[in-house]
Structures are given as C-alpha cells and as structure tokens.
Amino acid sequence: MSHTQIENQLAGRGTLLRDRVFMWSLFVSLAIGVLTLAVLLIYVTVKGWPRLDIRLFTNMPSVRDAENAGAQSAITGTIWVISFTALIALPTGVLAALHLEEFARPDSRFQRFIEVNIQNLAAVPSIVYGILGLAVFARALALGQSVITASLTLALLVLPVIIISTREALRAVPRNIRDGSLALGATEWQTAYRQTLPAAIPGIATGTILALSRAIGEAAPLLLLGAVSFITFNPDGVLSGYTTLPIQIFNWTKESREEFQVLAAATIVVLLLLLLAMNFVAIWIRNRTQKRW
C-alpha cells in the first residue's frame, strides 16, 4: 500500500480530498484580497498614466480645464495639514502612553475606563470625528474651514492609534532596564525619559508614521470641514483655506467628463506613492533599529 492509501485508510474515506479542497479554498480567499489589490494598483496606474506628468505638481486644480489642471494646492495642503496633525498628535499621544504604561496604577478602575475608551475611540467612524470638528473647532471655537481645524480633527482621529502603538513599544522595553536605572537613584521620570523612552523610539516612530499615513488618506471628516470647495491657492498659514489629495480625488470623481477621471487616477497614484514612501520609511526604521533584548 502506498503512503497516501495508508493515510486515507487512517483518516477515513474522502477525508484527504476534503482536506485538500479546504486548504485550496482558504488559499483562494486570501488570493482574492491580494488579487483585488493588484488589479486596483494596475488599473489606477494605467488609467492615470496619460496625466502623470509635471503639470500635476505645477498647476492648480480646475473643474473646467482638464487639460491643464493639476493638484499642486492639494499636495501643499496635505503637507500643511499632516505637519500640524503630527505636531499635535505625536507629543500628546506619547505623553499619554507614558502615563498609561509607566505611571498609572495598573488595574485601577479609572485606568480600565481610559483603556476601553481609547479602544473605542480607535473604532469610532471617522465621519463622527468630522462632526466633532465641525461643531467644536469650526463653529464653537470659530476656527472656520482652516488648516488648523483639519489638523486638530485629524489629530484626535489618530491619537488612539498613536497611544496604542506607543504603549506596545514601551511594553517591549524589558523591566530590568527600568530597575537598573531606578536602582542607581534616578527618579521615575528620569528613568522614563532617559531610559525607557529612547529605547522605545523605533517602535514609536513606526507606529506614528503608520498612523499619519492613515490621516493622509482620510477624506470623510474633511468633507464636513470645508475642504470640498475648490481651492486654487496654496495654504499660507494655519487659518488659511486648504484642500488635500483625497479631497481633490473625490472632487474629480464627481465630474462626469472622462478627462477628470483620468486626473483622479493620476492623483491617486501620487497619493499612493506618498503613502508607499512613508511605509518604506517606517519599515526601514523598524529593521535598522530593531533591538533584541
């Protein structure tokens, strides 16, 4: 008897065939996701190719002149908005994570409440953050439809992600680094600031870059915050009007003329390349500085 025959007899009739079918259907379900991704990338590249040129970077958006329209104000707007998002979210997130991981009493009721709250905030639909930004930043604080309104809103949106990834990075720093520092007479803050935090920086950087790349691609909350109007100038301050790449893509998909769909596809390629670059930086930091304790 051959090996498979023996296996078949042990397992029962038809079991091995069912096993094989099962494994292939699992593989196919994984492949469908990967293939869709491949089709999507190829489709937008091919479709956007005719307009993937320098005009995209030098010219301003338009809904009339498809031939000469570009996405310059969307590119600069994205840079403005994301810079201030990072400036607000990164320190707040890291300090909050330091509190939760290094200073707060674990397992107190309040601590558990904060933790569940952060996990929930990470899953609140982004459009709800848009509503918050509209009611609080744009109208109540009268910041209007400006770069800073968008940055504050997106900062709140990515804050839970930054806190969660920073806490993981801090948790990966071994206990005895802290103990050694404390034993030499350092205070808790000195230990956290000079030992634990530096050791966790690669993890924090990776998590932050990934969180910011989520913010770069975000469009829904900005729809409520005034980015939809056609902006043909670069922002010149935090109270300036703005548009961003995802919003510009959205505006062009609404136009019925085919030229604008091509423009949208070309702008998508720019957006995806930007995200790809950020992800490479994140992976590079992780691989370069990965420490084995």
Residues 99-128 that bind another protein (CB under 8 A): 99-100, 103-104, 113-114, 116-121, 123-128
Give the total of residues touching another protein (CB under 8 A): 86
Least Cβ distance, residue 170 to another protein (angstroms):
12
Q: How far, in Å, CA of 94 to CA of 164, rounded?
A: 10
Positions in 229-268 near another protein (CB under 8 A): 246, 249-250, 253, 261, 264-265, 268
Q: Which of 56, 82, 98, 143 binds another protein (CB under 8 A)?
A: 98
Binding mask 141-180 for another protein (x = CB under 8 A): ---------------x--xx--x-----------------
- Phi/psi region, residue 12 (left: phi>0; alpha: psi -120 to 50; beta: rest), is left
Q: How far, in Å, CA of 263 to CA of 284, rounded?
A: 31
Positions in 47-76 near another protein (CB under 8 A): 47
Q: How far, in Å, CA of 164 to CA of 91, rounded?
A: 14
Q: Under the criterion CB under 8 A, does residue 209 sit at the interface with another protein? A: no
Q: Which of 57, 188, 194, 284 binds another protein (CB under 8 A)?
A: 188
Q: Which of 11, 63, 239, 277 binds another protein (CB under 8 A)?
A: 11
Judged by DSSP in three states, 18 sits in helix
Least Cβ distance, residue 31 to another protein (angstroms):
9
> In the chain, what is the greatest distance between 2 CA atoms, to the nearest angstrom?
83
Polymer length in residues for the chain: 293
Least Cβ distance, residue 26 to another protein (angstroms):
4
The DSSP string of 196-207 is IHHHHHHHHHHH
Q: Of the candidates 112, 56, 98, 291, which has an alpha carbon nearest to the alpha carbon of residue 188?
A: 98
Q: Under the criterion CB under 8 A, does residue 23 sit at the interface with another protein? A: yes
Could you give the count of Cα atoms lying within 13 Å of 230 in the half-sphere of its Cβ? 12
Nearer to another protein, 80 or 250 (CB): 250
